[in-house]
Structure 1
Amino acid sequence: MQKGLVLDYAGVLTDPGADELYGYVQGLRERGVRTALLSNAPGASAEAKRSLSPYFDALVFSGEVGVAKPHREVYLLTAGLLDLPAGRCVFVDDAAVNVRGAVEAGMAGVHHTSVETTLTELGALFPT
C-alpha cells in the first residue's frame, strides 16, 4: 500500500480545477498519507510556503536542495523527508521525463494530463 504522495507544482497544482487536487491531498493527509511538494523552482517565498504548508508535510525546491528532477537523488531525498522508502510513494508530474525519473528511483508514477485523470489514477493507488 502506498503511504506517500509527491506532487509537482507548476503544471499540476496550477491547472484549472486544482482545488480538487488540494482537497484530495488534504483528505489523504487525514487518512495518514504523508505528502510532499517537489518543484524544480529555485525556492519559494515565506508566504508561499505558509500557504502550501497545510497540504504538505515537506516542501522541496530544487534550488534549495541542490538537485533537480529528473535526478534520482531528489526523489530519494523527498521520500526520506517523508520518512518513507521511495517504493511507498507516488509521484505526480506533467513532464513525462520527471515521472520516468521517479519510477527509476522506485516510486510509482502518474503522468498528469488533467485533474480528472490524475484523481482517477490516484483513487486506484490510494483506495479508501
Structure 2
Amino acid sequence: MRGLVVDFGGVLAGPGSDRAGLTAIIGALRGVGVRSAILSNDPGGPAGADLRGLGDGVLVDEVVLSGDVGMAKPDPRIYRLTADRLGLAAADCVFVDDLAVNVRGAAASGMVGVHHVDPETTATELRILFDLGQGVRA
C-alpha cells in the first residue's frame, strides 16, 4: 500500500474521532513515503477553504471535496480521481470512512476499505495494512 485516503467528518472530526491520534499515524506514514488525501462529501466552494487548507502537506498531500469535483462517495469514480491526484492506482490505496456504504464504494473502485468504528480499531488496521510499528499511537 502506497496511499491513504481518509474521510474527514466521522473519522478526523466529530463523534467517534481521535484527530490527534490519527494525525500521528498519517504523519508517520507520510514520513515513510505514503501519499495521503482527505476525501469528503463536503459541498466545497468557499466554505471548503478550511478543509482544502489541510492539503499540500499541512496534514495530507491532497484534499478532494465532492462539491468541487461534481461527484460524491460512494461513486467509485471519486475514489479513482483521488488516487489519480495522489499519482497512484486505486489498488495501491487504503480508504477509511465511518459509513459502510462509502467503504463499499472504495472497494468497488479497487481500494482496500477500512470501516472506522473507533479510533483504536482503525489505528490497528492501518498499522497492519502499512506494516507500521506499535510506537505510533492513535
Specify the TM-score bucket, using the shorter chain as the normaliser.
over 0.9
- Uncovered stretches (5+) of structure 2, i.e. residues with no partner: 133-138
Which of 68, 93, 97 matches 1:64?
A: 68
**Matched position secondary structure for 1:56:** coil
Give the Å deviation of 1:62: 0.1
Cα deviation, 1:12-71, whole Å, max 9, x if unaligned, reads: 001442210011101110110000000000124434432x13111110000000000000
Equivalent position of 1:7 in the other structure: 6
**1:42 and 2:37 equivalent?**
no
CA distance in 2, matches of 1:60, 1:45: 10
The letter for the 1-side match of 2:52 is K
Equivalent position of 2:23 in the other structure: 22
The 3 A distance-change label for structure 1 pair 64 and 21 is same
- Uncovered stretches (5+) of structure 1, i.e. residues with no partner: none
The letter for the 1-side match of 2:100 is A
Equivalent position of 2:126 in the other structure: 122
Give the Å deviation of 1:92: 0.2
CA distance in 2, matches of 1:64, 1:9: 15
**Matched position secondary structure for 2:95:** strand
Tell me whether 55-64 or 14-23 shows the greater mean CA deviation.
14-23
**Matched position secondary structure for 2:38:** strand
CA distance in 1, matches of 2:115, 2:62: 21
The 3 A distance-change label for structure 1 pair 63 and 113 is same
Please say if residues 51 and 63 of structure 2, whose CA atoms lie closer than 8 Å, have aligned partners that are also in contact. Answer: no
Give TM-score, length-normalised by structure 2. 0.87
Kindly tell me the number of residue pairs found equivalent between the two proteins: 126
Equivalent position of 2:105 in the other structure: 101
**Matched position secondary structure for 2:8:** coil
Query: Sequence identity, in percent?
Result: 52
Tell me whether 39-48 or 116-125 shows the greater mean CA deviation.
39-48
The 3 A distance-change label for structure 1 pair 122 and 61 is same
